[in-house]
Every structure is written in C-alpha cells, then in structure tokens.
C-alpha cells in the first residue's frame, strides 16, 4: 500500500511539474514575441526625414486599404520638437500653406497652426518602420478619417 501511494504521488508530481514547465514555456514565448515587436519599433526613431508613399481614406466601414501615391511630400521631425515639410502640413484638408509646426512624442500630436480646425492638430504614430499621420476630415457634416503613410528616407 505504501508503495502504491509512493507511485501515485510521484506520478501526480511529475504531471504537475510537466504542467508548470509547459505553462512557463508558453509564458516565455509570449514575452519573447512581445519584446521582439517592441525592439523592431524601437529601432525606428521619429526624428529624421520621411517621404509620403501611401494614403487611405476610411469610408467608415473598415473596407479601405492604403493606396500608393506619387508625391514629393516629405516631412522632417527635428530633435528640438519642430516639424517641417516641403509642401503644407494643412494638406490634404485645406489649401493653406503652413510648412512648419511643433510636435510632442508623448501626445503623438503635430500642432500645425492651420486655420482649419481639422488640420490644426494631426495625430501620428509609428507602425513598424512607417510613420502614419491621421487627419479627421469633415465630409458633408460626417467625420471621416484620412491617413498618410510615410517611409523613412534618412
């Protein structure tokens, strides 16, 4: 009887130990995969020059995709918190020509000083190796989102 108890407890210990190992392995894989994504984004810095490569206008139903554009538009983020462009920060929303502004990394905002309230603040984010600018567009009293995708050129 004592021998039977020994084998049962040993078997249960091995199963429990095996479950702990499997759980530890799964958690380790999750942590490693998450930190790898962070490292990839961390390698791309905001400061520098970016070129417009694609645009997306969201109709509100999630069906939109980025479309390639032929553009000369570049945008430069400087270490002093200023941002400049060779076209206009107000574009694509207005014809105003405002070629510089300021940005804050923590709020992920560009302050443009454009007269159009929809273009006065532009949200941005880094997605992998791309910079995404997000504009809120008012189309006949219906707000839509418009995105510009940039790739780093230096």
Tens-level pLDDT at each residue, the chain (154 residues): 554 454 445 554 454 444 444 443 344 334 444 443 443 455 789 999 999 999 998 877 878 899 999 999 999 999 999 999 999 888 776 777 888 999 999 999 999 988 888 788 999 999 999 999 998 877 666 678 889 999 999 8
The reply to whether omega before 75 is within 30° of 0 (cis) is no
pLDDT of residue 110: 95
Both tokens assigned to 116: 């159009």
Residue 112 contacts residue 22 (beta carbons within 8 Å): no
Residue 144 contacts residue 137 (beta carbons within 8 Å): yes
Angle at 36 between CA 34 and CA 42, to 5 degrees: 105
CA atoms within 13 A on the CB side of 145: 17
pLDDT of residue 73: 93
Distances (CA, A) of 69 to 53, 72, 149, 150: 6, 10, 10, 11
- pTM above threshold 0.75: no
């Amino acid at each position: 009887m004592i021998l039977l108890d020994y084998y049962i407890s040993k078997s249960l210990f091995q199963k429990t130990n095996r479950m702990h190992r499997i759980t530890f392995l799964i958690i380790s894989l999750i942590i490693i995969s998450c930190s790898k994504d962070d490292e990839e984004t961390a390698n791309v810095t905001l400061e520098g020059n970016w070129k417009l490569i694609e645009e997306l206008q969201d109709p509100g139903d999630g069906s939109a995709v980025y479309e390639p554009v032929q553009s000369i538009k570049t945008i430069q983020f400087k270490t002093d918190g200023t941002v400049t462009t060779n076209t206009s920060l107000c574009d694509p929303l207005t014809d105003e020509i405002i070629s510089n502004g300021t940005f804050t990394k923590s709020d992920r905002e560009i302050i443009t000083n454009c007269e159009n309230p929809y273009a006065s603040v532009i949200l941005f984010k880094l997605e992998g190796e791309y910079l995404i600018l997000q504009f809120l567009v008012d189309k006949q009293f219906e707000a839509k989102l418009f995105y510009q995708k940039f790739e780093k050129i230096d």
